[in-house]
């Protein structure tokens, strides 16, 4: 476990004393600890149980899958903004080859450990900036979920709180979209708040509307 942290030159704590958010080792599992509030808040990723496990095993009628649509058997999907892999797990249910990118080392390590415990056969994760990795992925569909402000559901509040506090500056959404349109072979799917304007640039080909989020779909000629 300590070797994982050393790989990315990250400090790993057993019992941090100073207030803050830490990458820690608990019961031989990586987790995030936030001891700035009481009670102590902890987060480790579990893709076999709970909400994330349901995301992988649940029904296939969600709006994201509608936006991805039917694809050839040999199609490749790139999730360019993996985060804690919530949408990545849903995309894996397509059965297509799936590549997911994450540029934050702490987030990447937490997801990688969860996948070691609960492998997803058609999923490959890569560490690095999505724009740099897009040319080598040869993706038919590229999925983007730029971080945006929205009302957070109680059941996802802990994950989103941690994610917003630990990740560094995000790649501008306009740059992500431009790069995705340059490299996707079939389409680009972008997650947006339901009432938000599309990302600056070309207009979406069509939209899939949900209750709190919307998926803007860009066909690539």
What DSSP assignment string belongs to 104-155?
A: -HHHHHHHHHHHHHS--TTEEEEES-HHHHHHHH--SEEEE------PPPGG
Listed as ranges, residues in the chain with pLDDT below 70 are 1-19, 55-56, 58-61, 147-169
**pLDDT at res. 69:** 95
**How far apart are the C-alpha atoms of 126 and 41, rounded to whole Å?**
28
Tell me, yes or no, whether 24 and 114 share the same domain. no
Q: What is the pLDDT of residue 77?
A: 98
Q: What are residue 216's phi and psi, to 5 degrees?
A: -90, 125
What are residue 77's DSSP bridge partners?
A: 98, 141
Number of domains comprising the chain: 2
Angle between helix 157-166 and helix 105-117 axes, rounded to 10 deg: 140
pTM of the model: 0.84
Bridge partners for 209 per DSSP = 214
In a domain, 168, yes or no: yes
* Residues ≥6 apart with Cβ < 8 Å to 149: 193
Do 24 and 16 touch, CB atoms closer than 8 A? yes
**Residue 176 is part of which domain span?**
55-219
Examine residue 187 and state whether it is found in any structural domain, yes or no.
yes
**Residue 49 is assigned to a structural domain of this protein:** no
Q: What is the CATH number of the domain that holds 122?
A: 3.40.50.150
Query: Sign of the CA dihedral 125, 148, 66, 155?
Result: positive
Residues 123 and 100 in one domain: yes
Same domain as 127, residue 173: yes
- 29 and 59 co-located in one domain: no
- Are residues 70 and 37 both part of a single domain? no
Residue 50 lies inside a defined structural domain of this protein: no
Rounded Cα distance between 133 and 154, Å, is: 34
Q: Is residue 199 part of a domain?
A: yes
| Sequence-separated (6 or more) residues with CB below 8 Å from residue 65 | 90, 91, 93, 94
Residues 149 and 210 grouped into a single domain: yes
- Contact predicate 29/16, CB 8 Å: no
In this predicted structure, what is the pLDDT of residue 1?
Answer: 47
pLDDT computed for residue 65 by the predictor: 94
**Does residue 40 sit in the same domain as residue 91?**
no
Q: Quick one: pLDDT at residue 17?
A: 63
19 and 122 part of one domain: no
- Do 129 and 182 reside in the same domain of the chain? yes
Residues 102 and 35 placed together within one structural domain of the fold: no
- Say if residue 185 is in the same domain as residue 215: yes
For residues 124 and 27, state if they share a domain. Answer: no
């Amino acid at each position: 476990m300590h070797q994982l942290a050393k790989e990315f030159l990250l400090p790993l704590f057993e019992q941090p004393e100073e207030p803050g958010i830490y990458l820690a080792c608990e019961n031989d599992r990586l987790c995030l600890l936030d001891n700035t509030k009481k009670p102590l808040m902890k987060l480790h990723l579990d893709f076999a149980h709970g909400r994330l496990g349901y995301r992988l095993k649940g029904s296939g009628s969600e709006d994201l899958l509608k936006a991805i649509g039917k694809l050839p058997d040999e199609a490749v999907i790139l999730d360019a903004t993996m985060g804690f892999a919530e949408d990545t797990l849903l995309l894996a249910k397509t059965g297509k080859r799936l590549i997911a990118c994450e540029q934050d080392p702490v987030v990447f390590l937490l997801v990688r450990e969860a996948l070691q415990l609960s492998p997803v056969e058609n999923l490959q994760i890569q560490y690095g900036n999505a724009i740099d990795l897009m040319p080598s992925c040869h993706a038919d569909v590229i999925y983007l979920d730029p971080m945006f402000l929205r009302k957070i559901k109680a059941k996802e509040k802990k994950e989103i709180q941690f994610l917003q506090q630990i990740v560094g500056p995000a790649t501008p959404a306009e740059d992500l979209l431009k790069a995705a349109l340059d490299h996707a072979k079939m389409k680009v799917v972008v997650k947006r708040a339901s009432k938000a304007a599309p990302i600056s640039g070309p207009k979406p080909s069509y939209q899939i509307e949900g209750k709190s989020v919307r998926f803007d779909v860009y066909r690539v000629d």
